Amino acid sequence: MGHQLTKKEITREILKCGKDPVYFINNYAKISHPMHGLVPFKLYDYQADLVEDFNDYRFNIILKARQLGISTVTAAYIAWLMMFHRDKNILVMATKFGTAGNLVKKVKAIVKNLPSWVRIANVSIDNRTSFELSNGSQIKASSTSGDAGRSEALSLLVIDEAAHVDGLEELWTGLYPTLSTGGRCIALSTPNGVGNWFHKSYTDSESQQNDFHPTLLMWDVHPDRDQEWFEHETRNMSRRQIAQELECNFNTSGETVIHPEDINRMLEDVCEPKYRTGFDRNFWIWESYLPECTYLLSADVARGDGKDHSVFHIFKLDTMEIVAEYQGKVAPDVFSQIIADAGGEYGNCLAVVENNTVGFAVLDKLKEKDYPNIYYSIKSSHQYVDQLEAEHNSSAVAGFTTSLKTRPMIVAKMEEFVRNRLVKVYSSRLLNEFKTFIWNNGRPQAMRSYHDDLIMAFAIGCWVKDTAFAEAQRDVQYQKAILNSMKKSDSIMNTTIPGMQGYRPTNSSEKAKTETEKNKDFMWLFKG
């Protein structure tokens, strides 16, 4: 205002500000600019729309690119809420205390830089990361590691960088009751992969499965940004950084074990199974048994605490397609029967069962059922041995052992297979696990409250294909080479001398038959 306002004009302006937060911010809020110092805060259209959403909806969730001024907009809205409303209790939370504290500082700066006549309430209590106004409204910062806010009624909860907060699911369960008296919530963040609270809450809000109103703010919503700006900004950024910082892409952001681009590529092949069968309809089949093909069944057995699933995949070996898959919470004896039935349907294929804990019970049941093709390995080296040899080797153990030594090896082999497009996945269940299978302090594991059962069965299958099968095939090829050489020798000349003791005319077909009998245990490898 260029002239001295009268009391009537001041009253009218205060009423306008109190009714309309956008008007208040555009006309009286000032922010600190890194180059120009203290400047008026003029909202862009997308920022003004966001402020109106804050005022119109109790719960707002914002998926945003960086450097759009959303934290500043939120701070300005909070300043309006505190100034023109009595006894508002506001809590700002972030994974780091400093992040929450910075937002509180922005609110305080906006309040203190208001014209004196607009500042109808003054700062009465002023601490480093909290302050209170004379009208009873207060704000404080908190990290998400403590119990802040759980014992008090909140008028507004702000969760900054929500996608990066560990354990927010549990925190939200404790904080939600504090909003039950009409409190509001603003959750804002860049994406950080899938499966976390922010991802689930945002995607659920899009399908109206929760109370949040969603807002998507891509990099190009800013009027001063164009393709030239984007290309300049992303010159030195990785694909994952671009997805997280600018494109608001959940799938491509985050530190998943399988590269997000590979996950997105595999999503193109996902399709509904032809059959959903079994007593629980959890046995999914995409392709029925073909006699000319060889198959592999790899299984991961639940611990028995009811939290995990017992699962298996059936691979068609020549293409490494998953043609069938089971996932269910069943008892060990039931699971062994399902394996035996499914394996039998696919030519009594080699059954590789993880033998940790309950896995031994499943393997014992398979033996009782006389399943003819169980995976064995040497305890110390994890080297594959066929079932006939294992019966005479005290060092052989049934099943595959997942340990601190083997887990990183099979996960690495799985990642190699996926990256090099050596597998084909149709299962939405498996792809969903890939999205939440992350590096956690250098260890590959599922996000909290998610599962990796299908992934581990998948990884075992890739490992066996690349090691046990490759070794067995080399052995058979060696035997076949010997056999062919013997056939060739018999057809050209006979090096035995008639009249020698023990002389018998050679018969190549008989020898071939003999060698074939010797190697019959390997023949299942060469169907077709």
Cα–Cα distance, 281 to 190 (Å, whole number): 38
Q: Residue 124's pLDDT is what? A: 93
Backbone angles phi and psi of 65, in degrees to 5: -85, 165
Task: Give the percent of the chain with pLDDT over 90.
Answer: 57
pLDDT tens figures, 172-214: 988 899 998 899 999 999 998 777 899 889 988 988 889 999 9
Backbone angles phi and psi of 326, in degrees to 5: -125, 140
Place of tokens 């070996």: 317
Mean pLDDT, residues 141-158: 78
For residues 400 and 355, the answer to whether their CB atoms sit within 8 Å is yes
Rounded mean pLDDT of the chain? Answer: 85
Place of tokens 């499914």: 342
pLDDT tens figures, 406-425: 888 899 999 999 999 999 99
In this predicted model, which residue has the larger pLDDT, 321 or 6?
A: 321
* Same fold? 7-250, 261-466: no
pLDDT tens figures, 453-477: 999 999 999 999 988 776 555 444 4
CATH of 7-250, one of 3.40.50.620, 3.40.50.170, 3.40.50.300, 3.40.640.10: 3.40.50.300
Cα–Cα distance, 58 to 258 (Å, whole number): 37
Q: Would the pTM of this model clear 0.75, i.e. be above it?
A: no
Domain edges within the chain: 7-250, 261-466, 480-494+503-526
CATH numeric code, 261-466: 3.30.420.240
Cα–Cα distance, 19 to 16 (Å, whole number): 5
pLDDT tens figures, 9-28: 899 999 999 999 999 999 99
